[in-house]
Amino acid sequence: RKEVEQDPGPFNVPEGATVAFNCTYSNSASQSFFWYRQDCRKEPKLLMSVYSSGNEDGRFTAQLNRASQYISLLIRDSKLSDSATYLCVVIHGGFKTIFGAGTRLFVKA
Amino acid sequence: DAGVTQSPTHLIKTRGQQVTLRCSPKSGHDTVSWYQQALGQGPQFIFQYYEEEERQRGNFPDRFSGHQFPNYSSELNVNALLLGDSALYLCASSPNRGASYNEQFFGPGTRLTVL
């Protein structure tokens, strides 16, 4: 079993739609969680940190469920520019960073 | 304020050769991590450097080694290159303390092709 698992997609959604991604992790001692986005042939860029209390940044909402060991990302009112690969990131052991393989999102007009 | 920079951008090597990749962290960051990203995969953690020491390592063989300098810049060395080492190599920097602890910022990467 992979340490961090994501549905690879692709998710094909129309502009204005709401889309949600989940990511599960296997190490219950994991302590830090993030979502990154990566455009084709570019470097990953930090989208947001994820906290148990949930956090929101504009159209993006992230949530952590420690009991079920998953994190989620919700994107509301999707834009064409949201088309990218979304990477789930989990850190455990203080410094060991594990990336999921990513979920591809295509937003179409 | 310069972000994370990496050099070179692209590199072509042959099997058995050795390669050195370089990274300068974002201003104010003292921790550098290296990743290998194959096509269609997420980045794989190679190791992390802090205070010029390797403090965490992923599942990579000893052919992969690194160094961090007093100015926090870092090098990744790969010996005895294999075809399977062809990938995008990403460097990320982060602060070791504060609210942004563990928030990593990535450089544009070095694309290594091994022939």
Residues of A in contact with B35 (CB under 8 A): 97, 99
Residue A88 tokens read as 């789930």
Residue in chain A lying closest to B90 (CA):
A43
CA distance A63 to B57: 28
Considering only the beta carbons, identify the residue of B33, B40, B103 that sits closest to A49.
Answer: B103
Residues of A in contact with B109 (CB under 8 A): 43
Q: Which residues pair with B53 in a beta bridge?
A: B50
CA distance A92 to A98: 8
Which of B5, B26, B49, B56 to mutate to test binding with chain A, by most A CBs within 10 Å of its CB? B56
Check B42 against A102: CB less than 8 A apart. Answer: yes
Q: What is the pLDDT of residues A20-72, one digit of tens each?
A: 999 999 998 888 999 999 999 899 999 999 988 889 999 999 999 999 999 99
Map residue B19 onto helix, strand or coil.
strand
Check A95 against B48: CB less than 8 A apart. Answer: yes
The closest of A16, A9, A12, A13 to A79, measured between CA atoms, is A16
Residues on chain B bordering chain A, Cβ-to-Cβ distance under 8 angstroms: 33, 35, 40-45, 48, 50, 55-56, 58, 90, 102-109
CB within 8 A of A105, min separation 6: which ones? A9, A10, A11, A13, A19, A21, A75, A78, A82, A83, A84, A85, A86
The closest of B66, B60, B64 to B23, measured between CA atoms, is B66
Contact predicate B106/B24, CB 8 Å? no
What pLDDT score was predicted for residue B35?
A: 98
Q: What is the pLDDT of residues B29-82, one digit of tens each?
A: 999 999 999 998 999 999 999 999 999 999 999 999 999 999 999 999 999 999
Contact predicate B102/A32, CB 8 Å? yes
Check B106 against A102: CB less than 8 A apart. Answer: no
Q: Which residues pair with B67 in a beta bridge?
A: B75
CA distance A69 to A23: 9
What pLDDT score was predicted for residue B1?
A: 65
At residue A12, what is the residue type?
N
Neighbours of A38 (CB within 10 A): 22
A45 touching B (Cβ < 8 Å):
yes
CA distance B74 to B34: 9
Q: What is the pLDDT of residues A60-105, one digit of tens each?
A: 999 999 999 999 999 999 999 999 999 999 998 778 899 999 999 9
CA distance B46 to B37: 10
Distances (CA, A) of A43 to A36, A51, A79: 10, 24, 20
